[in-house]
Amino acid sequence: MTFDLTPEQDQLRDAVRALGRRYGHGYFVEKAKAGEHTTELWAEAGRLGYLGVNIPTEYGGGGGGITELAIVCEELAASGCPLLLLVVSPAIAATVLNRHGTEEQRKRHLPGLADGSQKIVFAITEPEAGSNFHRLGTVARRDGDGWLLNGRKCYISGVDEADHVLVVARTEDSSTGKLKPALFLVPTDAAGLTRSKLDMEIVSPENQFLLYLDDVRLPADALLGESLDAGLPALFAGLNPERITVAAMGAGTGRYAIERASEYTATRKVWGGRSIGSHQGVSHPLAHAAVQVELARLMIQKAATLYDAGRDLEAGVSGNMAKYAAGEAAALAVDTAVQVLGGAGMTTEYGVATLLGAVRAGRIAPVSREMILNFVAQHVLGQDKSY
């Protein structure tokens, strides 16, 4: 057992950290408050190969795994630039395409995902069903040689930045008459696809949308994979990378907040000239938050290692635990940073309160802490299903 990164992974971490710090949290917040996107950072990360580290080399990627992509997510977040679309496009869409897409679909989309010139977002959540694909109301029906999609999606990230949406729908199995999940690559400019921006209390350059699919006609090759049988495994293929990279982003955000707060408390002097960090009432909460972030990082490393080794079931358990741990740790770290900075913690200048909304959302999405506890209770502790 080793906790050391490979020399290549160490170099990746250092390089991404340098890139992130060159842009910094000020850039991130400025873009978010102006209603703009982090286009420059995304493009440069793509040119340098960081967006495609988990994509095979034959499609222009780095040939690594989710371990490498988690490093990218964590280090950019630790620099104050937690880019949500890293989770959606390279982690979910690229993984699903690589593992279950046709060769033509891989050739068409993976090179663009690798260099950042293309973005594909993911649409599963619905107003009534949440993420319960057994109750999805979006339905795809045969339309001649193609497909006709109808339905609604909500909380879909980055649609305004993307070329395609990977839509989870249900199709009718002709042999049984039952509905089964399938994934479709839908161009964001497709006729019948409209969107409505959701106003969120989160400082983020990435927007959330409601999607409306009204008789969206698609060609046969919009169906992801060779047949409808690819739908269920393709759907699950994206879940572990999603949880692991979300967790990595949370851990990086926690590290950023603790670093900002520690710099302040080590130099801020009151009450006789001693730094406020010399008081245990200030230093102990920060130390506690640092412990929780480091524990989350260990579980992220375990989950990514298991996933890259092809041990999907074990990675599912560890990925869920990592997401839970990182969500809690990030929220604790940012809240603690705000508290120890006092009034300064609530200012934009000090760059921690700007993350409060994002880390709170991290305890809800993409899967809530309660659903993770249900999963652990059922699959690890052997308890009866509670829902």
Q: What is the pLDDT of residue 387?
A: 82
Query: Which residues lie across from 207 on neighbouring strands?
Result: none
Q: What is the pLDDT of residue 173?
A: 64
What separation in angstroms does the CA of 183 have from each of 97, 237, 244, 383?
10, 12, 22, 32
> What is the distance between the alpha carbons of residues 308 and 315, in angstroms, rounded to a whole number?
9
- 3-state DSSP: the chain helix, strand, coil percent, rounded to 5? 55, 15, 30
Mean pLDDT of all residues in 97-123: 98
Which residue is listed with tokens 């909304």?
357
Strand 164-172 with 179-187, pairing = antiparallel
**239-278 residue pLDDT tens:** 999 999 999 999 999 999 999 999 999 999 988 889 999 9
Mean pLDDT of all residues in 164-188: 86
Question: Smallest Cα–Cα separation from 89: which of 115, 122, 67, 56?
Answer: 122
**268-319 residue pLDDT tens:** 998 888 999 999 999 999 999 999 999 999 999 999 999 999 999 999 999 9
Is the whole model's pTM more than 0.75, yes or no? yes
**50-77 residue pLDDT tens:** 999 999 999 999 999 999 999 999 999 9
Q: What is the pLDDT of residue 235?
A: 87
Residue 149 per-residue DSSP state: E
- Check: CB of residue 112 under 8 Å from CB of residue 43: no
Mean per-residue pLDDT over the chain, rounded: 95
Helix (H) or strand (E) holding 179, with range, is: strand 179-187
Residue 230 burial (C-beta neighbours within 10 Å; 0-12, 13-18, 19+) = buried
Mean pLDDT of all residues in 354-380: 96
Query: Which residues lie across from 147 on neighbouring strands?
Result: 142, 218
Alpha helices in 215-361 (DSSP H): 231-237, 239-267, 280-308, 312-341, 356-361
**Residues sharing a CB contact under 8 Å with residue 289, sequence separation 6 or more, in sequence order:** 254, 257, 258, 329, 332, 333, 336, 337
Largest CA distance in the chain: 81
> What is the distance between the alpha carbons of residues 229 and 132, in angstroms, rounded to a whole number?
19
Transcribe 73-115 into DSSP letters.
Answer: HHHHHHTT---THHIIIIIIIHHHHHHHS-HHHHHHHHHHHHH
